[in-house]
């Protein structure tokens, strides 16, 4: 004989099993599953046709750009003392770039290449301190780029990795595919997936209502099922895609660095750590969006409204910015674009340097709790409402 | 077991239930009779708290009321409502539906097979609902509520779309459920069928119960004869004062206070209307229905 609480838990799981059964028979869920399964592999197949530019070519382009800077500095250095100082630094940079080209070529000394690279970064930062005097805007190396390069070189140096490997290429594809998925596309997928979580019950009202199960238990069960559905197919799709890309390049070392933005600085983390951050972030964003879908279902009782309003909320900070309002309080909405948070792009875009991964995750967690609390409060309020002029019909 | 007190449901210009009260006990089947759109479903929705009335109280087992969600769950553990066949899941099988109800209320599905066998559903119950006819769907809805096996059951339009054989099958099952001590409310338009298993029939009109017919208690008997209005007008003044003329069709003369001789006299007198069938017996649900809802 089961106790009261055991009975409650048993019923919860039985309801969850039924919900899962419905999900498995729902064509929409299968479309989403197929999309997630094939998205990564198709992306990798298409984009792996274009191979990343080799390091030597990158350095040659950098050296040529540096020559162009010289010409501008040379014209001004006799008249303006700051330009003369910049010119001096630039001479050293130019020489170090040449050395780097030698070390990745015939010199074959990656340690020296890194040392030179780190030195170049220091010099470029000094040039920034001097206000890049005499350098035309389009030739200035942005400070973010310098910091990123510095973090990358330090990581390679600390972990004793080769400076050129096909694993850099796989990293490149990983970040690109996640850049494409994260944000708007992922938001649309989750909103479509969750747009009828409560609403479908309205078309089966006489079957579904009246179960001796609390509303919140039903909500948790529904969110749990959708969450696992999305995350499971997302991970399986990514694994299939990764197997393809690592086999193709014969490079699947997950210790190679990827840059992330943290504490107003760029740090390099291993590919494995990056993917862990990324998928944890996507999982939290999924959870938030699913609870938001439940809330929108409750408020608007319309599946299309769920998608449109969800998208509307997401672009709200952009609209505010376009209208000239900084509206910092709206920034957390954008945190669901985990890739932009990790890369530091969001911090630059919104002009808010405090936006980094852990900060964003904390905000997403708090918002999820707030949305959950709102659902709970609305349910309680509906329950305790006293009819006045009209009788009250329960929607869910 | 169930007590409704002063239930009122009013929309802007329409009163659906007006200060309605009644009590019901376990082991009873209560028929609910009224034309379409007169509040039967609303009454069921109030009993199950899908609709909060403007006024009134619903009490279960003397003290359990819909005051908190927790109490609602306690009540819903004892109460199941009959699903509409249009709300079934087309992609699921009949067994899936039955198991859902069995799991939600009984916590077990062991009895599901017995139910679909008793209801002779073996040939189709494992197929998807989208392949079912109306009658099959209706039987499934009944099987679902039977699988829930709750002490209180609310069955709206339970016999809809069923052929005679299935009406009989479900009627038998209802009688069995009554023997098991369940309180069952049945809203049905098959009036004569209600007489088979209902203990009481409630006639709902203008938002209230206008008549409560107890079918088990000894009821007054009548001599019943169909008469046209013209025929009735001719003999109206010779009929006893307490006679009934229902729906301008049926003349009913009470025989409770008549001796055998007087009864014979009336039978002989009325047998002049040879083309009409003369019967003796209590008023049944169809006759009361006509009395209350077809009176001009």
Q: What is the mean pLDDT of residues B92-117?
A: 95
- Average pLDDT of chain B? 89
Cβ atoms of B201 and B288 within 8 Å: the answer is: yes
Contact between A206 and B51 using a beta-carbon 8 Å cutoff: no
State whether B103 and B199 are in the same domain.
Answer: yes
Final residue in a domain of this structure, among B214, B233, B248: B214
Tokens of B40: 């039967």
**Stated pTM of the model:** 0.86
B163 lies in the same domain as B240: no
Interface of B with A in 24-83 (CB under 8 A): 45, 48-54, 68-70, 72-74, 76-77, 79-83
Query: At residue B181, does pLDDT exceed 90?
Result: yes
Task: For tokens 């869910």, name the residue.
Answer: A396
Residue B38 to residue B205: CA distance in whole angstroms: 7
Put simply, the answer to whether B103 touches A14 (Cβ < 8 Å) is yes
pLDDT at B71 over 90: yes
Q: Of B54, B71, B81, B156, which to mutate for an interface test with A (greatest number of A Cβ within 10 Å)?
A: B54
Opening angle at CA B234, ends B229 and B239, nearest 5:
95
Residue ending a domain, choose from B195, B214, B233: B214
The nearest CA of chain A is from the CA of B47 a distance in Å of 11
Q: Looking at per-residue confidence, does B294 or B223 come out higher?
A: B223
- B158 shares a domain with B130: yes
DSSP B8: E
Q: Structurally, how many domains does chain B consist of?
A: 2
Answer yes or no: do B11 and A391 touch at CB < 8 A.
yes
b/e code A29-64 from CB counts within 10 Å (16+ = b): beebbeebbebbbebbeeebeeebeebeeebeeeee
The pLDDT of residue B258 is: 84
Whether the CB of A207 is below 8 Å from some CB of chain B: the reply is yes
Indicate the pLDDT class of residue B99, thresholds 50, 70 and 90: very high
Same structural domain, B63 and B160: yes
B contacts of A385 (beta carbons < 8 Å): 52
Going by pLDDT thresholds of 50, 70 and 90, the confidence category of residue B55 is very high
B35 plus B171 within the same structural domain: yes
Q: Which residues of chain A have pLDDT under 70?
A: 1, 251
Domain termination site, one of B170, B193, B214: B214
Q: Are residues B283 and B147 in the same domain?
A: no
Output Rg (C-alpha) for chain A, integer angstroms. Answer: 27
Would you call B91 an interface residue with chain A, using a CB distance cutoff of 8 Å? yes
With 60 as the cut, is the pLDDT of residue B234 above it?
Answer: yes
Q: Is A395 exposed, middle or buried (0-12, 13-18, 19+ CB in 10 A)?
A: middle
In 3D space, the residue among A297, A319, A317 whose CA is nearest the CA of residue A306 turns out to be A297
If asked whether residues B161 and B288 sit together in one domain, one would say no
CATH no. for residue B205?
3.40.50.300
Q: Which residues contact B187 (CB under 8 A, 6 or more apart)?
A: B31, B32, B33, B34, B40, B41, B44, B155, B156, B157, B158
From A364's Cα to the closest Cα of chain B, the distance in A is: 30
CA distance A188 to chain B (A): 26
CB contact under 8 Å between B77 and A212, yes or no, is: yes
Judgement on whether residues B65 and B170 belong to the same structural domain of the protein:
yes
Structure-block tokens of residue A209: 């209502």
- What was the pLDDT predicted at B296? 53
> Do B153 and B99 fall within a single domain?
yes
Structural domain for B175, as ranges: 2-214
Interface residue of B17, B70, B100 to substitute, partner A, most A CBs within 10 Å: B100
pLDDT score at B218 = 57
Are both B158 and B229 inside the same structural domain?
no
Q: Are strands B152-156 and B2-11 parallel, antiparallel or unpaired?
A: unpaired
The tens digit of pLDDT for each residue in B16-36 reads 999 999 999 999 999 999 888
Same domain, B149 and B286: no
Q: Which residue has the tokens 């099958």?
A: B169
Do B209 and B284 reside in the same domain of the chain?
no
Residues of chain A contacting residue B87, judged by C-beta atoms under 8 Å apart? 203-208
B103 CB neighbours in chain A (<8 A) are 11, 14-15, 18
């Amino acid at each position: 004989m089961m106790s009261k609480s055991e009975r409650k838990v048993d019923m919860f799981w039985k309801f969850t099993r039924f919900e899962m059964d419905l999900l498995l028979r729902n064509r929409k869920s299968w479309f989403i599953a197929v999309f997630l399964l094939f998205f990564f592999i198709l992306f990798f197949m298409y984009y792996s046709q274009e191979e990343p530019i080799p390091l030597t070519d990158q350095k040659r382009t950098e050296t040529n750009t540096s020559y162009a800077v010289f010409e501008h500095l040379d014209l001004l250095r006799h008249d303006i003392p700051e330009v003369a100082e910049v010119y001096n630094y630039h001479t050293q940079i130019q020489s170090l770039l040449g050395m780097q080209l030698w070390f990745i070529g015939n010199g074959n000394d990656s340690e020296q290449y890194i040392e030179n690279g780190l030195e170049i970064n220091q010099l470029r930062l000094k040039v920034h301190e001097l206000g890049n005097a005499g350098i035309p805007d389009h030739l200035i190396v942005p400070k973010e780029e310098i910091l990123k390069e510095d973090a990358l070189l330090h990581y390679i140096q600390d972990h004793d990795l080769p400076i050129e490997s096909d694993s850099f290429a796989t990293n490149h594809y990983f970040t690109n595919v996640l850049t494409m998925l994260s944000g708007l596309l992922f938001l649309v997928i989750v909103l479509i997936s969750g747009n009828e979580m409560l609403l479908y019950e309205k078309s089966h009202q006489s079957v579904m209502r009246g179960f001796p199960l609390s509303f919140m238990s039903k909500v948790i069960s529904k969110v749990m099922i959708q969450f696992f559905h999305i995350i499971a197919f997302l991970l399986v799709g990514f694994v299939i895609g990764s197997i393809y890309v690592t086999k193709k390049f014969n490079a699947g070392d997950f210790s190679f660095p990827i840059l992330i933005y943290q504490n107003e600085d760029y740090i390099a983390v291993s590919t494995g750590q990056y993917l862990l951050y990324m998928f944890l972030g996507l999982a939290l964003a999924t959870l938030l969006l699913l609870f938001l879908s439940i809330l929108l279902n409750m408020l608007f009782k319309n599946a299309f409204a769920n998608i449109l309003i969800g998208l509307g909320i997401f672009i709200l900070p952009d609209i505010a910015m376009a209208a000239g309002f900084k509206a910092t309080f709206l920034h957390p909405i954008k945190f669901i674009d985990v890739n932009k948070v990790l890369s530091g792009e969001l911090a630059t875009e919104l002009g808010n340097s405090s936006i980094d991964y852990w900060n964003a995750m904390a905000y997403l967690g708090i918002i999820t709790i707030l949305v959950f609390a709102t659902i709970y409060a609305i349910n309680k309020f509906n329950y305790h409402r006293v009819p006045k002029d009209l009788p009250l019909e329960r929607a869910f | 077991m169930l007590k409704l007190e002063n239930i009122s449901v009013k929309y802007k210009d329409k009163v659906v239930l007006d200060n309605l009260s009644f009590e019901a006990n376990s082991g009873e089947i209560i028929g609910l009779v009224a034309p379409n759109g007169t509040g039967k479903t609303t009454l069921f929705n109030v009993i199950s708290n899908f609709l909060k009335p403007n006024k009134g109280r619903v009490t279960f087992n003397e003290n359990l009321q819909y005051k908190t969600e927790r109490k609602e769950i306690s009540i819903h553990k004892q109460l199941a409502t009959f699903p509409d066949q249009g709300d079934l899941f087309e992609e699921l099988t009949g067994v899936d539906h039955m198991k859902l109800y069995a799991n939600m209320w009984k916590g077990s599905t062991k009895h599901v097979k017995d139910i679909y066998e008793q209801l002779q559903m073996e040939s189709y119950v494992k197929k998807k609902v989208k392949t079912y006819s109306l009658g099959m769907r209706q039987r499934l809805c009944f099987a679902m509520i039977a699988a829930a096996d709750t002490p209180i059951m609310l069955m709206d339009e339970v016999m809809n779309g069923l052929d005679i054989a299935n009406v009989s099958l479900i009627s038998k099952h209802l009688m069995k459920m009554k023997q098991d001590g369940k309180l069952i409310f049945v809203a049905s338009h098959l009036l004569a069928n209600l007489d088979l298993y209902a203990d009481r029939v409630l006639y709902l009109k203008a938002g209230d119960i206008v008549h409560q017919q107890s079918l088990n208690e000894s009821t007054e008997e009548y001599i019943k004869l169909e008469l046209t209005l013209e025929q009735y007008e001719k003999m109206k003044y010779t009929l006893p004062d307490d006679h009934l003329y229902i729906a301008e069709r049926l003349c009913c003369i009470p025989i409770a206070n008549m001796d055998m001789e007087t009864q014979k006299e009336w039978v002989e007198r009325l047998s002049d209307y040879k083309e009409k069938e003369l019967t003796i017996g209590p008023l049944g649900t169809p006759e009361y229905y006509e009395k209350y809802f077809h009176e001009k």
